[in-house]
Amino acid sequence: MKGKLTLLTAALALLLALLTACGGANITDAKSLAAANIKAQAAVESHHMDMNMDMTMAIDTERLKEAFGTSSLEIPVLMNVAVDSGRYTAHANTNMNVSIMEQETKQQAELYLDMKNGITYAKADGADAWKRAEETLDMSAMLNSLGRLEDSLLENAIYSESSDAYTLTLNADPMDEVIKDMDLLGSLRSAGLDVETLTVDGGQMVYTIDKDSLLITSIAMKDIDVTASGVLGGTSVDMSIPLDADVTFSKYGELVPEDYEIPDDVLDDASAASPTLPIENKDETE
């Protein structure tokens, strides 16, 4: 009997070890997967993100007649963003191709983000100095977006799994606030547009989550139609923006502070350009 108990104890210990190695997560549907992912993401200290976005901004405003002879204009935009991010600071490189009346413009920029204090340090390609702005993208918003979903959205999600990944597919229609939080249209603000309203009609968001780590590996945004209105240069504008984007995440916990902290020379350059603004640095933990 003693030998049987020893074998049983050993078997239970092995089972417990296997469950612990898997995080002890009992994942059977979208809600349990989101809960497990939220817990896993909370432990992430750093990550890399790549985003490729394809959209066409259809702008309607009478002011366009002055420059183009028409009140409506379609502007195709291709954007690529690569980000190394810690918890509070990030380093990004952006590439944007914009076509207006068959004239293509390419814009490149390097950014450092102080997400804790809401500050961006930017240097466009060809610029001599870094500029500081009192706004920033929250690199954690997209990474932690499952935690922003209400139970009603998760209940309607399509849940599936393969040998190495979980997949959640959600209708984009009721996800206006989540998409706003992701700040995918931050480029519109940088172009001088003050977005007042934003609604989403149609399309899907597809999350892929690694089975072992329970971390998001990709988010695909498919055929999402965004309608927005706002003010550009003092003029009211209405926009329709068909949007497709692919976002991938990698190098979880593999980055070092030098990959994402704001270098002192960037802070010094920005301070010289804006001497009245306080400068803060480092990806400090609280």
Position 235 scores a pLDDT of 74
E-assigned strands of 61-192?
72-85, 89-100, 103-114, 119-124, 131-133, 158-161, 165-171
Residue pair 129/273 in contact (Cβ under 8 Å)? The answer is: yes
Q: Check residue 181 and give its pLDDT.
A: 61
Identify whether 259 is part of a domain.
yes
The answer as to whether 208 is a domain residue is: yes
For the chain (286 residues), the mean pLDDT of every run of 10, in chain order, is 56 48 70 93 94 82 69 81 93 86 83 89 89 75 81 89 95 70 58 70 91 95 84 74 89 96 90 56 51
Q: What does the angle CA 75 – CA 186 – CA 152 come to, to the nearest 5 degrees?
A: 105
| pLDDT score of 15 | 46
Task: Round to whole Å and give the CA distance between 80 and 278.
Answer: 31
Q: Write down the residue that tokens 């690569």 correspond to.
A: 82
Residue 16: the pLDDT is 47
| Coil vs helix vs strand at 214 | coil
Domain membership flag for residue 280? no
Inside any domain, residue 93: yes
**16 is a domain residue:** no
CA–CA separation, 171 and 122 (whole Å): 35
Distance CA 190, CA 75 (A): 16
Percent of residues in the chain assigned helix, strand, coil, to nearest 5:
25, 40, 30
What is the number of domains present in the chain?
1
Q: Which residues have a Cβ under 8 Å from the Cβ of 217 and sit 6 or more positions away?
A: 165, 208, 209, 210, 248, 249, 250
The CATH number assigned to the domain holding 157 equals 2.50.20.20
Given the structure tokens 């899907």, which residue do they identify?
204
pTM: 0.77
Task: Say how far apart CA 129 and CA 123 lie, in whole Å.
Answer: 7
Domain around 124: 27-273
Q: For residue 244, is it within any domain? A: yes
Is 54 within the bounds of a domain?
A: yes
**Structural domain contains residue 13:** no
